[in-house]
Amino acid sequence: MEFNNSFLEKFQKEAYETAVSKGWHESDELDANGHPTARQKLAWLALVTDELDEAVIERANGRFDTYYDLKGKPCGFHTEYADALIRIGDMCGACGWKLSDCSGGHSGRAVSLKRNVFTEAIRCGDQKTQSEVVSQLFWTIVFEWRLSQIYPTECALLSALDVKMAYNKTRSHRHGGKLA
């Protein structure tokens, strides 16, 4: 398995549908046309950065491989990167964007992980620009993950995606009442 268009379409659909089934889009902030507002999109991007922060903590503690906490939740460096990608897949589904439409990862372009890049892209209101920046973020995360590896194959990340997405399907509605 690899990050090709077929995989991206299936992955994005599954991430979004799982989030919907677990109640994560029940209280989305929508504009008059029924589309997510800029504020909602920025909130979703903040959740992506939360997952990346968790990955940093896992790496600092030397926990690369997937392990399970006392409640059976998969954790670890690869899993937190997978969580960030899942959040992006869900966001793209909620916004009607397709990760497979943008080749940000294949062009070698990477987007800065600085907050102002996202803020400006989201505030501009142009859906194409927004979807391209978010797609580039997806590929930047994959690229950064590869750089963190001694032997950068996608197997560990793809495996973590499979494990985390399967686990997410078993979770309760809004993971027991969480707000985000």
* Mean pLDDT confidence for 70-90: 95
pLDDT at 140 over 70: yes
pLDDT at 104 over 50: no
What's the pLDDT band for 180 if we cut at 50, 70, 90? low
Please give the pLDDT value at position 31: 92
Residue that wins the pLDDT comparison between 87 and 123: 87
pLDDT at 17 over 90: yes
pLDDT at 117 over 90: no
Evaluate whether 110 touches 91 at the Cβ level (below 8 Å).
no
Q: Angle at Cα 136 formed by Cα 133 and Cα 139, nearest 5°?
A: 160
Nearest to 52 by CA among 90, 80, 85: 80
Evaluate whether 106 touches 136 at the Cβ level (below 8 Å).
no
Interval 28-42: pLDDT, tens: 999 999 999 989 999
Please give the pLDDT value at position 90: 97
Tell me what the pLDDT averaged over the chain comes to: 84
Evaluate whether 86 touches 161 at the Cβ level (below 8 Å).
yes
Q: What count of other Cβ atoms lies within 10 Å of the Cβ of residue 146? A: 12
pLDDT at 130 over 80: yes
The dihedrals phi and psi of 30, each to the nearest 5 degrees, come to: -115, 150
Please give the pLDDT value at position 40: 94
Contacts of 93 (CB under 8 A, 6+ apart): 12, 13, 15, 16, 17, 19
